[in-house]
Amino acid sequence: MKKNILVLTLISLSVTLAALFVGASFINPLRADSLSREILFSIRLPRIAVSVLIGSSLGASGAVLQGLLRNPLADPYILGISSGAALFASAGLMLGTAFLGPFTIPLMAFAGASLTAAVVGGMGWKKGVLWPDRLLLAGIGVGFLFTAVLMLIMTLSTNYGLRRTLLWIFGDLSMSDWSLVPTGAVLVAAGLIITLARAKGLNALSLGDDMAHSLGFSPSRERFLLFTSVSLMTATSVSLGGVVGFVGLLIPHIVRFAVGSDARVLVPLSAIAGAGLVVFADMMGRTVMAPMEVPSGIITAIIGAPYFLYLLRKKDVFGV
């Protein structure tokens, strides 16, 4: 297992390092002039930092949700949590609200993510039991609803607000700068700390509520804390770079295959691998069709959607 942890970590670090020099034009670090150094430290490095924050939050969130719901299709995008965060955050962007400075958009995104998680959780709860299949279908439905409302708001917005929001929704990171990193780093770190502190509880919940209770954990308390951490990390991800889908679906499966299901290892390694995937997607998006850029959310969808369809075809996805 230690070998697999090392391999996944090295792959993510290698991709991150390569993304610093690969782009519309390759920058040779040994022959970098003043303009090249300006591009590296003022454009590419903050963009990579934002990608790392987005990927780590989504990878960890997917690992948590799949463990909580014991369903391989669970992730913030599929469950509609990303859509709720995007709706509230984009409304803040188009309205130009800034009542809490740099924390305004993350706070609105967190409100949207938390509201969505509460609505979807309520719809998935029946007869005192959380039904993963009901939760999944409720998330898809709520996600479609919030996306429709978001499209309506965009239709009524100004041209500038529409363009800015449209690019942002699809995971465009071209406007990333250093101002986004401190706030994002604090919020993602807070979500990861909550998750890792409750890793044993997550392991217990993955065995079922009865087993968790017999092991001394309160299922409702653990679930509340873990859903809060997922909402926080998803909201931060959306506020930093829009909706980047399928990272939380794909990455935990790869990591689980390599290191097993122990949340104490799975969650942090999913964060590392998720960071590598989003950095890779952003690197490909600004390279393959240069000088035109493809939003990273589109790249991750192209990679993740076929895998989602593969999982959907498996007979045990809904327990039937």
* Spatial distance between the Cα atoms of 167 and 175, rounded to a whole number of angstroms: 10
The mean pLDDT value for 229-239 works out to 88
Mean pLDDT of 36-42: 86
Residue 304's CB: how many other CB atoms inside 10 A?
23
Asked if residue 314 has pLDDT above 70, the reply is no
Is the pLDDT score of 318 beyond 60? Answer: no
How far is residue 24 CA from its own chain's centroid? 26
Give the β-pairing of 129-130 and 125-126: antiparallel
Task: Please state, rounded to an integer, the average pLDDT across all residues of the chain.
Answer: 84
Q: Which residue in this structure is represented by tokens 């959306």?
A: 238
User: What is the mean pLDDT of the segment spanning 139-166?
Assistant: 75
Please state the pTM of the whole predicted model. 0.88
Q: Domains in the chain, ordered, with CATH?
A: 2-9+46-313 (1.10.3470.10)
Please say if the pLDDT value at position 320 is more than 50.
no
What's the rounded mean pLDDT across residues 243-250?
A: 88
Q: What is the pLDDT of residue 71?
A: 79
- The answer to whether the peptide bond before residue 291 is cis (omega within 30 degrees of 0) is yes
Mean pLDDT is lowest, of 120-129, 180-189, 297-306, for: 120-129
Q: What is the 3-state secondary structure (H, E, C) of the chain?
A: CHHHHHHHHHHHHHHHHHHHHCCCCCCCHHHCCHHHHHHHHHHHHHHHHHHHHHHHHHHHHHHHHHHHHCCCCCCCCCCCHHHHHHHHHHHHHHHCCCCCHHHHHHHHHHHHHHHHHHHHHHHHEECCEECHHHHHHHHHHHHHHHHHHHHHHHHCCCHHHHHHHHHHHCCCCCCCCHHHHHHHHHHHHHHHHHHHHCHHHHHHHCCCHHHHHHCCCCHHHHHHHHHHHHHHHHHHHHHHHCCCCCHHHHHHHHHHHHHCCCHHHHHHHHHHHHHHHHHHHHHHHCCCCCCCCCCHHHHHHHHHHHHHHHHHHCCCCCCC
pLDDT single digits (tens) 179-230:
888 888 998 999 999 999 999 999 998 888 788 888 888 888 888 899 889 9
Joined together, the tokens standing for residue 9 give: 């970590």
Kindly state the average pLDDT of the residues 86-97: 74
CB 236 within 8 A of CB 244: no
The burial of 182, by beta-carbon neighbours within 10 Å (0-12 exposed, 13-18 middle, 19 or more buried), is given as exposed
